[in-house]
Amino acid sequence: MNQYVTGAVIKELREKNKMTQLQLAEKLGVSDKTISKWETAKGYPDITLLEPIAEAFRISVTELISGNTVLNANVSANMLKSKFYVCPVCGNVIHGIGEAVIQCHGIQLMPMDAEKTDEQHMIFIERVEDEFYVRIDHEMTKAHYISFMAALSSDNLQLIKLYPEGNAEARFRINGVKKILFCCNRDGLFSIDVVKGIDDKEHGYDRTKERRAIEKAAGILLA
């Protein structure tokens, strides 16, 4: 673990919960002088007290240590607001639909910010019957590759894990998909909105040549 709970965090949480030092001390079975020492950086709480402290503030131990409390506003669970966390050590991919404090290999992970596709990360989307065939124009070496692709609708997530020396391609059921995301292990997360009409069964195009022309016109593929 690369950090520990600080007195400043304890003080902030105590005041947020409208508790005095004495009230917190009574909950933890310590003296109010001990609480004062923590808050003035003259000491640290014993590790055995982390869980009781977290319980006193009604948060998790992870939130306590990170100093970040989680307040989720995405109560409707709109999947289009999904957040992705990727561990730089093991490549673990974690998905969330709200705020979270997540750690992997002792590292606190931050949600990835999705960028628009660029010339080094061009995407090709083709409709094939009731699926989207998605291909990324990108190398797939052990050092540089696309690690996963995801298709999002308002109520569904489809995620496919990719591996080095494989193909940077995937198939997704259309099912109201509005957004395609993919992650490059070096350059991070990229996102693109599906072209309006591509998931329209009556007006969709299956032929590759026509599909490329539509995507280019829509600005998906950069010249």
Give pLDDT, residue 201.
40
What pLDDT score was predicted for residue 217? Answer: 64
Per-residue exposure over 104-117, b if at least 16 CB sit within 10 Å of its own CB, e if not: beeebbebbebeeb
Q: Which amino acid type is present at position 2?
A: N
Q: Measure Cα distances from 121 to 3, 34, 39, 196, 201 in Å.
A: 36, 55, 48, 21, 28
d(CA 162, CA 178): 21
**Residue for token digits 């409707």?**
76
Alpha helices of 29-157 — where are they, by DSSP H? 32-39, 50-57, 61-66
> pLDDT band at residue 108, thresholds of 50, 70 and 90?
confident
Say which CATH topology domain 7-66 has: 434 Repressor (Amino-terminal Domain) (1.10.260)
**Predicted confidence band of residue 222 (pLDDT cuts 50, 70, 90):** very low
Quote the pLDDT of residue 223.
46
Cα–Cα distance measured from residue 100 to residue 106, given in angstroms and rounded to the nearest whole number? 16
Give the containing element (helix H, strand E) for 115: strand 115-116
Fold category of 115-218 in CATH: Immunoglobulin-like (2.60.40)
Nearest to 118 by CA among 182, 166, 165: 182
Residue 215, number of CB atoms within 10 A of its CB: 20
Pairing of strands 157-161, 146-152: antiparallel
Domain ranges in the chain? 7-66, 115-218
What integer pLDDT is reported at residue 64 of this predicted model? 84
Q: Is the dihedral of CA 74, 77, 81, 82 positive or negative?
A: positive
Put simply, whether the predicted model's pTM sits higher than 0.85 gets the answer no
Question: What's residue 203's pLDDT?
Answer: 39
Question: How much is the pLDDT for 78?
Answer: 80
For the cut 90, the answer to whether the pLDDT of residue 198 exceeds it is: no
Helix 32-39 to helix 7-16 angle (10° resolution) is 120
- Return the pLDDT at 170: 96
Question: Each residue of 21-39: pLDDT tens digit?
Answer: 999 999 999 899 999 989 9
